[in-house]
Structure 1
Amino acid sequence: MKFRYVYQKVVDLKTNEKTQAEWMLSAAVGELQMEQYSLEQLNEERKRIYFTLQDEMENSASMIKLQELQRYLEHLNDCILRKAGDVQRAEQKVEQKKTVLTGKMLDEKVWLKAKEKAKDKFQHESLLREQNELDEMATVRFAMRGR
């Protein structure tokens, strides 16, 4: 007789939920990495513009050119602030997905443990039945020899 767990569909569901939570965490981590990369790019651009502005000031560039560079630098600073907020939100999202995944992993573990206990019980009962059958056969043989 083969072991069949009554709640196997629940175990499968919990495993699928955990897998989906892993995918969602992976997507959130990907978004976070994209936001961080974008922030790095903005910081590099700001650094480049800052040095360009300094070079222009040393080369006595026109006031209009300097004002234009200064406005662009201020715009980059604003973009960096917004992007830092985006990074922070992405980090929070990753933490939320980690929490969800932890819960799903715990659910799956509980159901797998219940399945394992049910299987152990089934195997123990099978061994008892087999032992009882062997005992009965031995008793019958003993009784047949006694006649």
Structure 2
Amino acid sequence: MARFHYAYQKIVDLKTSEKSQAEWQLSVVVGKLTQEEQSLRQLQSERAVWSEKLQHASLSAVSLSEIMTIQTYIDYLDDGILRKIGDVKKAESAVDAGRKTLSDRMVDEKVWLKTREHAHKRFVAEMTVKEQHELDELASVRFMYAAP
């Protein structure tokens, strides 16, 4: 029996490779998003600690310069939190773009795999017809030799 050879196999391989690459890129941007979110939580936690210190400082006998220093640091943390929120939004956008890219790549790969599958089915059907013709021909030849 002849062996199936798909003329566009390199395209199928390319589409599979592109899908794998999109999966890898998505995992990278998801990791970056996780990292940015953790960094944001750390900043927010640190801000909460310093806000509590500021409250305690305002209730106790602490110098005005120390209160101002704490407030300045809290303002600095607020700026950092705002920047980090922007970074998280950028990372979320990158994840969304990565998901869309992966989805597109998966569709492309599926289309080409289906095309290959249909070509294989046609090949098998053609081979079955050829084999049947050969068997019919053998049967005819045997019948002719067997007839007196």
Class of the TM-score when normalised by the shorter of the 2 chains: over 0.9
1:29 alignment partner in structure 2: 30
1:52 alignment partner in structure 2: 53
1:87 alignment partner in structure 2: 88
Counterpart of 1:113 in 2: which secondary structure? helix
Separation (CA, whole Å) in 2 of partners of 1:40 and 1:5: 53
Alpha-carbon offset, residue 55 of structure 1? 1.2
Residues 87-117 of structure 1: per-residue CA shift (max 9 Å, x gap): 0111011001111111100000000001000
Residues 30-65 of structure 1: per-residue CA shift (max 9 Å, x gap): 110010000000000000000111111122210000
Residues 113-144 of structure 1: per-residue CA shift (max 9 Å, x gap): 01000111111111111110000000111111
2:10 alignment partner in structure 1: 9
Structure 1 unaligned runs (5+)? none
| Amino acid aligned to 2:94 | K
Structure 2 unaligned runs (5+)? none
Separation (CA, whole Å) in 1 of partners of 2:102 and 2:10: 20
1:127 alignment partner in structure 2: 128
Query: What is the TM-score when the length of structure 1 is the normalising length?
Result: 0.98
| Amino acid aligned to 1:31 | K
Equivalent residues, number: 147
Alpha-carbon offset, residue 2 of structure 1? 1.2
Root mean square deviation, CA, Å? 0.7
1:63 alignment partner in structure 2: 64
Separation (CA, whole Å) in 2 of partners of 1:34 and 1:62: 38
